Amino acid sequence: MIVVISVLTVFLTVTDANNNSNTCTSIVTVLDTIAPELHCQDATVYLDASGQATISIGDVLDHEHEACPITNTWLSQTSFSCSNLGLNTITVSATDQSSNLGTCISQVTVSDALAPVPDVATLPDVLAECSASVSAPTATDNCAGSLTATTNDPTSFTAQGTYTINWTFDDGNGNTTAQTQSVVIDDVTPPVPDVATLPDVLAECSASVSAPTATDNCAGSLTATTNDPTSFTAQGTYTINWTFDDGNGNTTTQTQSVVIDDVTPPVPDVATLPDVLAECSASVSAPTATDNCAGSLTAITNDPTSFTAQGTYTINWTFDDGNGNTSIQTQSVVIDDVTPPTVVCKSHTLNLISGQGTISVVDVDDNSSDNCGIASWSVSPNTFSCEDAGVQIVTLTVTDHAGNSSSCQAEVNVQYQPSCSIISVPTGNVYTGGNPNNLFLGYGAQSTTLQSTVSGGTGYSYNWTPAVGLSCTNCASPVFTPTTAGTFNFQLTVTNSNGCSTTCEISICVIDARASGKGNNGKVIICHVPPGNPNNPQTLSISPSAVYTHLTQHTGDRLGSCSSSCGSNRAINEVEGQLLENEGFETIIYPNPTRGVFSITIHSDSEQPAQAIVYDLTGKKYLSFLISPPIVRIR
């Protein structure tokens, strides 16, 4: 609602330049539309014992400014409790007579400054003999209400002694109250035995006495202790002094008697001992008995317990428990051998010495045995000579000490004759046709090793004949190096350590393949078979580098002249030329090289005519002509 402050009549007079004037009136109404101006201040209030606090306008309004009178003021909150602890924002409001509203803000801090009040002013001492668990005391706080004390000290006690617990009540708002409480643990009651009078312990052999028990108000069930023995094995009467100690200085004692007296003799484990029967010998184990005190007992005797001689014996056994109680048993022993030996034969190889040899039992016996022991061995026959070479049958007889015997037969392989063989191993690997027993003077390996293989005996000696060309005559494998062509037959005699000998032979063919014609120095002779014309072989001298091609690519070509054989002289009419091969043609030019007249022989598998051109060393065309295969000769 807007209130009229005042109503005024206003006169307005207007005059022009000629001093003419006129007047009018106006009614002016004064209204208030400006809100009050308020200035707040912050405040702090403290909760009382009931957790309450209040404020008024004067606590939070510092001053105000208003042209017109203020008619009403109020606060947004005047009462505070524990739930308002801390900073609270309060609005102060005021209105004037025109109902204009003015406000300001105040920060009101609500604080709790009252400490908790213990529910019991002085805590009572806690008294116990064995242990105590102390419950925390309580207090009442204006805000927190009922509080339970806390402590860093122990609250459970089992050890004897006096303790102090420092309790603290904390209301969570920074206010605390402290209290102390004493705890006294003091045990003064001794243990009470569970059995008022302990019974005597009676036994024949031994006794292990269990400790008696007692009940203590603090320790509960207690087991007695003693410095006396509690296990007894010797005969006699003993007293045990037991003590119950609760660990808190309170003790109780008891005594107990133990009597050990054995009156029972041993009982044999077998009522009647069986006879001991053996063929060769016997070692009799002592029988056993069971004693109530000693347990398992082994009998003793003054009689022998080991027997090797044939016969019947009696052993008198005694069981003694060591406490004056004994038992007696007897046992018979019979020794009678009726089993023959087990004879086992094995084969034997006999190497004669100087044509004679002898075997012994150990040569043919393969661990023969007898249950009682072997008295004698024999083998027949046992001597051999060269005439007995081969497998001979002998008889091995074994006899034991009781006269029982057994026999078996064994094979004796009489060895005396060695054997040998010889192979030729050329000292080079140049291909000469594939026969290692052939050597070619002037080409390939020029020597060969006569390698022997010998079996039959040991300690061999060697003798080679003839000695010509051999590197040694008394070695196993000499090297043969020929200097002339021929057939060389060598014989090897081998003698072993037994004095027996054998012979073996080998034949080596030596062919002279060296070219002898003019201009053929360093060349090799071959027998060449022209393709398509096998009936017209030709002896040629060629370069050593061309030999392998001839031997491997021309069927029928071989080293040496076409007319040569093992042991023959070198041919003297070989063609002084070289075999050339070019795409189906074979061309022989001789002599080659030449400075004058030469001959050309051409072989061809084709029947078509062809042109041949000859050039000199400068590349100048020397000759041109037509040829008509298969054979053309030009001079």
Whether 343 is covered by a domain: the verdict is no
- 340 within domain boundaries: no
Give domain status of residue 15, yes or no. Answer: yes
Give the mean model confidence (pLDDT) for residues 74-81: 94
Average pLDDT over residues 130-157: 96
Domains of the chain: total: 7
pLDDT tens column, 433-465: 889 999 999 999 999 999 999 987 788 999 999
Residue 173 and residue 203 in one domain? no
In a domain? residue 342: no
Of 96, 113, 130, the domain-final residue:
113
Residues 622 and 533 in one domain: yes
The reply to whether 430 and 386 lie within a common domain is: no
pLDDT at 194: 97
Residues 104 and 137 in one domain: no
- Both 404 and 485 in one domain: the answer is no
Give the CA distances from residue 260 to residues 225, 237, 327, in Å, rounded to whole numbers and listed in that order. Answer: 22, 6, 21
The amino acid occupying position 238 is: Y
Residue 341 lies in a domain: no
Residues 499 and 435 in one domain: yes
Residue 500 and residue 606 share a domain = no
User: Is residue 38 within 8 Å of 104, Cβ to Cβ?
Assistant: yes
Question: 467 to each of 132, 332, 362, 463, 493, how far by Cα in Å?
Answer: 124, 86, 46, 9, 13
pLDDT tens readout for residues 269-282:
999 999 999 999 99
Reported as a pLDDT band with limits 50, 70 and 90, residue 614 is low
| Domain of residue 10, CATH code | 2.60.40.10
- Picking from 396, 415, 434, the residue at the C-terminal end of a domain is 415
Q: How confident is the model at residue 31 (pLDDT cuts 50, 70, 90)?
A: confident
The confidence band for 474, taking pLDDT boundaries of 50, 70 and 90, is: very high
CB 415 within 8 A of CB 350: yes
Do 5 and 104 sit in the same domain of this protein?
A: yes
For residue 318, give its domain range.
267-335
- pLDDT of residue 102 exceeding 70, the answer is yes
252 with 296, same domain: the answer is: no
DSSP letters spanning 225-285: B-SS--EE-SSEEEEEEEEEE-SSS-EEEEEEEEEE------EESSSSPPPEEESS-EEPP
| CA dihedral sign, ordered 63, 64, 69, 74 | negative
Q: What is the mean pLDDT of residues 55-79?
A: 88
Does residue 518 lie within any of the structural domains? no
- What's the CATH code of the domain at 319? 2.60.40
Integer-rounded Cα radius of gyration of the chain: 72
CA diameter of the chain: 197
Domain end: 484, 512, 540, which one? 512
Residue 320 shares a structural domain with residue 395? no
- β-strand 86-96 against 70-75: which pairing, if any? antiparallel
Residues 6+ apart with CB under 8 A from 440: 432, 510, 511, 512, 513, 559, 560
Task: Please check whether residues 79 and 154 belong to one and the same domain.
Answer: no
pLDDT tens digits, residue range 313-340? Answer: 999 999 999 999 999 999 999 999 999 9
User: Is 542 domain-assigned?
Assistant: yes
pLDDT at 115 over 70: yes
Residues found in the chain:
635
In this model, does residue 74 exceed pLDDT 60? yes
Structure tokens at 276: 């001991």
On whether residue 517 sits in a domain, the answer given is no
The separation between CA 383 and the C-alpha centre of its own chain, rounded to angstroms, equals 62
Identify whether residues 455 and 373 lie together within a single domain.
Answer: no
Q: Which residues contact 467 (CB under 8 A, 6 or more apart)?
A: 473
Confidence of residue 569 (pLDDT cuts 50, 70, 90): very low
